[in-house]
Structure formats: structure tokens, C-alpha cells
Amino acid sequence: MRIFYDEGYVAAAHQYETTRKSAQIAAAILGGRVPGVTIAEPSAFLGVAERWISVVHDAAYVKALRTGEPEWLAEGNGFDWDPGIWTTARHSTAGVLASVEEAIAQGLSGSLSSGLHHAKPGAGQGYCTVNGLVVAARHAIDLVDGPVVILDVDAHCGGGTAQCLDGVPGVVHLDLSTSSFDEYEPMGDDCLVVVGRTDDDAYLEQLDLMLGRIPREAGLVLVNAGMDPHPGISVGTLAERERRIAAFLSEQEVPTTFVLAGGYLHGITEAQLVDLHLLTVSAFAELGASREGMTSSCAA
Ligand SMILES: [Zn+2]
């Protein structure tokens, strides 16, 4: 399985988990922590990323991200602006687009992108700069037959995604949260469920119901695999979440890609945060290995 990352993801000068952790996770993968996973650079998708960012986001906001002016708009994501903010937005978005095309071609992929689902058409919010989920979904609509599904299991609600998708056909937005931050009113087949912050059993129960809402004819599933339900939700339950998502999507045989989303140093070390995100990478890598096994046994 190929996962997308390059140094542009961490170009922003502002130091925060969202602007730094992808480098640590990439280093762990390059160090062999997850067998069967390689890192690929998404530079071929920088141009298409810029075009889609300008479609999904308002011109004044994109200009602010490029120039830093006006400051209130350029720093709506919660970070001090520097030119690296725009570099990070472009590279992180290119990575999601690259992983979409890789998933459609190979069945499975991911990008070490994060800071996506609170970004609104006209502004950043909540450590999110550009809504790479919506960019990727809109790019994918023309490449697959069935609906594109955004499965968002970050702790917080994807209100930015809902606003950016308003009126865009062919995308189903399924959102399991443990915090009502950025809550919104779901439309059509979309679904938002906010469960108790510390109720592991209810969390997995609602996850299963959410997975059951994925249309059988889905053409692609994008997983926003936030680890910030922790520490309210246990590490074991988050590991089980990733196993269930990977197993379900394997059964459906739907192209799947994931991004990192939230995950913070709230009472844990950097190494423990890397371990949390590797739960996602490992679950999908094992799924990839089992798919390869299926292919070779069929060929034999
Ligand atoms: Zn979050």
C-alpha cells in the first residue's frame, strides 16, 4: 500500500500537532514500523490541488492563504501565518488527491494529511486550513460510478465539510463524533451522530450503524481517521474501530483512502500519538495484504 507524504506537509512555521505529526508518522513508516507500506510523494498533483482549492474555497480566503493578508482571515485556522501555510495546504491537498487516484487504481491508499474538516468555503477554523476531504470527494465524483462517501470518525463534527458540500450531488457525508464542536444539520442521506465522550460501547455500536449507511454501490470511501476521541475513548476501542472499518470496506470491495485528521498531545507523548495514528495505517495495510493474498490465490 502506498501512502502519500512529502516535506511540504510540514512547511508551516507554526508548531502544532497538525503541522508536525505527519513527519513523525512518515519516519515511523520509513523505519519499517508497518510492513507492506511505502511512502510516495504527491508532487504531480500540486497543480490540480491548487485548481480544486480555488473551486471549493472563496477567492478572498485563498488569496489570504497565499499572502497572509488580511491577517484575521489568513490565521482563521488558529496558526500564525507564514508562507509555509500555503505550501502545507497545497501539498497536503495534493496528497489526498493522489491517494484518491491511487485508491481507485489499486483499491487502497492513504495520505498523512490532517486539518481538513472544519475548513469552511470562506475561512479556516479549528486547525483546519483547506477542506481536502471536499476537494478529494469532488475530484473523485467524475472518476467513479457510484456515490463518494466521506466517513468522518474524528472526535469533532465536520461542519466545514457540510458547508463546503452544500448542494454538491453524489457525495454522502457520514460523521461519528464525540464532541458537538462544529455541529451542523445533515442533509439528504448524510448522517451525524454525537455519542458520549467516554462511552466506548456506544461508540462502537454507532460505528456499526454508520458503516451500515455506506451505500453498497459506493464508488469510493474517504476515511477521516481522527484519533482525538482518545483519551475519552480508549486506545483498544480505537484499534477496534479501525479493524471494523477496514474489514467492512474490504467486504464491500470499495476503493478506500484515509487521512489522519485530529490527534493531539493531550496527556500522551509524541511517540504515543504516532502509535495511535499507526493503528489506522496498520489496519488498512493488513487489509491490503489480505487483498493481495486473495488476488494471488485466485490467479493460482
Ligand atoms: Zn477533531
For the chain, 300 residues long, give each residue's pLDDT as a single digit of tens.
999 999 999 999 888 888 889 999 999 999 999 999 999 999 999 999 999 999 999 999 999 999 999 999 999 999 999 999 999 999 999 999 999 999 999 999 999 999 899 999 999 999 999 999 999 999 999 999 999 999 999 999 999 999 999 889 999 999 999 999 999 999 999 999 999 888 999 999 999 999 999 999 999 999 999 999 999 999 999 999 999 999 999 999 999 999 999 999 988 999 999 999 999 999 999 877 776 644 433 333
Contact (Cβ atoms closer than 8 angstroms) between residue 116 and residue 77: no
Q: What is the pTM of this model?
A: 0.95
Ligand 1 centroid to Cα of residue 147, in Å, is 25
Ligand 1 centroid to Cα of residue 145, in Å, is 30
Question: Which pLDDT does position 297 carry in this prediction?
Answer: 36
Amino acid present at 142: D
Phi, psi angles (nearest 5°) of residue 61: -70, -45
**How far, in whole angstroms, is CA 29 from its chain's centroid?**
18
C-alpha cell belonging to residue 11: 512547511
Angstrom distance (rounded) from CA 129 to CA 69: 15
Domains and CATH numbers, the chain: 2-299 (3.40.800.20)
CA distances from 266 to 126, 221, 231 (A): 16, 29, 8
Ligand 1 centroid to Cα of residue 229, in Å, is 8
Ligand 1 centroid to Cα of residue 129, in Å, is 13
Amino acid present at 292: E
Ligand 1 centroid to Cα of residue 297, in Å, is 40
Ligand 1 centroid to Cα of residue 298, in Å, is 41
Ligand 1 centroid to Cα of residue 132, in Å, is 15
Angstrom distance (rounded) from CA 31 to CA 143: 34
Ligand 1 centroid to Cα of residue 180, in Å, is 10
Ligand 1 centroid to Cα of residue 32, in Å, is 28
Amino acid present at 188: G
Ligand 1 centroid to Cα of residue 228, in Å, is 6
Ligand 1 centroid to Cα of residue 299, in Å, is 43
Ligand 1 centroid to Cα of residue 224, in Å, is 10
Angstrom distance (rounded) from CA 268 to CA 270: 7
Question: Which pLDDT does position 291 carry in this prediction?
Answer: 65
Angstrom distance (rounded) from CA 50 to CA 199: 40
Longest CA span, the chain: 62
User: Three-state SS string across the chain, please?
Assistant: CEEECCHHHHCCCCCCHHHHHHHHHHHHHHCCCCCCCEEECCHHHHHHHHHHHHHHCCHHHHHHHHHCCCHHHHCCCCCCCCHHHHHHHHHHHHHHHHHHHHHHHHCEEEECCCCCCCCECCECECCECCCHHHHHHHHHHCCCCCCEEEEECCCCCCHHHHHHHCCCCCEEEEEEECCCCCCCCCCCCCEEEECCCCCHHHHHHHHHHHHHCCCCCCCEEEEECCCCCCCCCCHHHHHHHHHHHHHHHHHHCCCEEEECCCCCCCCCCHHHHHHHHHHHHHHHHHHHHHHHHHHHHHHC
Question: Which pLDDT does position 292 carry in this prediction?
Answer: 63
Phi, psi angles (nearest 5°) of residue 216: -60, -30
Ligand 1 centroid to Cα of residue 227, in Å, is 8
Question: Which pLDDT does position 298 carry in this prediction?
Answer: 35
